[in-house]
Structure 1
Amino acid sequence: MAWRHESAYSPGDWFDVIPLSGARVALVVGCMAGQGIGAAAAMGQLRVAINTLAAQDLAPDELLGQLHDLVTGRREEPADDPRAASAGSRMQGATCLYAVYDPVSRRCTLARAGHPAAVVVSPQGKVEIPDIPAGPPLGTQHPPYRTTDVELPEGTMLGLFAGSPAPAGNSERSPAARILQQVLSSNPYRALEDSCEAFIRAYGPATGEGFLLLLARTRALSMDRVAAWTFPPDPAVVATARSLSLRQLAGWGLEELDFTTELIVSELVTNAIRHGTGSVGLRLLLDRGLICEVSDGSSTAPHLRYAYETDEGGRGLLLIAQLAHRWGSRYSARGKTIWAEQTIPTAAASTRSGGGGTPGA
């Protein structure tokens, strides 16, 4: 991954790279309306809001919709506090491109709010711009925002940018988009840092304006680092789920995590059988950490509660929260997934060959 930002000429542009559950990553690029300290403060508030919404594992279109509602609400706040009114008005008209890449399925889901679409360069060097429906800038007009799913072979390069405005609102014809396509198509195999430098040489003299450029090369999580099973909603399968998980950990050389993984799998599978619906899915991912995911067909949200000493149950999620590095839940059209991620012991990490693959370079 590489980036360049000429902030002196384009202080309202910003980007974020946000780790998500399931070894996924979110790439975000945006541009504030206006300049100065007020715009910088509003930009900071938007970035905090996006990171907060991203932690809830919202789909890109849902995240932009929530962000639009936040900007609209801030704009309509009473003017008792001039600073709040100023921040709300400066957020109005901000643009944003939000992309989520999944290294297991190798699919990227994108949505945009008045922002130029991403540039995609295949491993063979073909340069394309995905057809992402152009939603309105934040706090203006009326959404909904819509997403586009793109399957990206390993080694695909993604280019997200913000630059000079496009003629007649056509973001694909902006100078930044045109020059970026020319630079990437001229030599799609160069290093990301070199591509950034080539863009600077081509864009700066041509426009004399500021810009932000974020480049990332995708990596896939190989199938030997993914293990998945489906079980019927029968309490008898909990022991089978534990046994299969321990066998997989042995294959990965992670016996040090046997105890905690066995407990996490047992608790999550049991909860899915008791409180969920339909079959139960169990998936283990070996990336920078060990990720355990359990899915079912219910959309009921899990609640962490602190049980009394006299309670015989209710401590499952509390134990998982204490044993795992982090945990959470995400929802889909077919139900929900509860996940827990453990840190890989240093000794085991140093002996592993190769890499699980981070989504971006």
Structure 2
Amino acid sequence: MNLPAETQTVSRPTRPPAPRPTTQMMIGCFAIPLLVAVSLGVVFMMVRANASASLTVPTKQILLVRLAPDETAPLLARFGEGRSLKITGRTSDWRWLEVELWDDQRGWTLRPLDILVWQLRAPETTPTPADAQAVSVTPVAEEMITIPAATFTMGSPPGIGEDDERPAHLVKLAAFELDRTEVTVGQYWQCVAAGACAAPTADSSADEPHYLNDPIFDNHPVVNVPWLEASHYCAWRGKRLPTEAEWELAAGWDAERGAKLQWPWGNEAASGPVNVGDTSLGKAAAVGSQAADKSPLGVLDMGGNVSEWVFDWYKVDYYSVADETNPIGPTNRRGEGTGRVVRGGSFVDSLEQARIANRGHQAEEYGYPSVGFRCARDNDF
């Protein structure tokens, strides 16, 4: 039967009892931290599993490898950005890493600060006295030769040389200064360490795979340097690249005779060894070591050793429109200039290619194993 509305009982759903405060505290204090710890542990294990046993030199940095884990220890090698080295050990604090070099050599380098410990994998190693000692090289002094102002005939007359050397034409140059030797490996690495130059594009030379790494070659001409980086180096030294006309004057002008020579040493084959042609060593030599390769003005290695970047863009017929006073070469607009001019012979060239008036050119964005450079400076005194 139906009961009056006022006597009907309304059933309500039953709620579960609320957790006791102690239960909530246990969940918050133990379960959640445990889950976080487990997650972090899994991530750490994955990172460690992918840790590397090799070291890649970071961008715009150089790695100095020493005989012992000590910043005063003798230098064994240098490496530029992007180079990869195998890690063979570490100190207990991970500050120093032992790396593998060449010929079974190992050395120590400071761990780059932007490479974290967990990114690397290496056993702790106790430094031991080295069997071999690093070779000490006395740096070549940076010296400049003053080239007096002069008017000379640039290029070659008909019947001598290539088409791009003609027409022979008078050029008037103001006085300037020029490096006595080519820029050395050791000098260039100073610019890299200062952050003003990029590392050479490759480590090897024509015959030596570690030419740019091993300090034993510090007094040899630097190679594998693109034109722009050569320009950066000269600017860092407060200098500039010489113009093509300046280079030719310094290489062959004989003020006593009032004439330009065929080669820096004269108009005949050199009386002593020069690093080009039949007397080539087949590789770059220490700068200034070929005594016969000396210009009348006292500049060294302009006939051989390595060829050299100069300032000018290359244009095959530029001499027909060249400025008479202090020329700086053609512009690079509308294809007028193709690459940058390279002057002087090298250890891979014939004697004919080492003639003072001979012109070469290379793409400026690359470095080459037989091309180096030297710097010039205006003479304002």
TM-score past 0.5 threshold: no
Larger Rg: 2
TM-score, length basis structure 2: 0.22
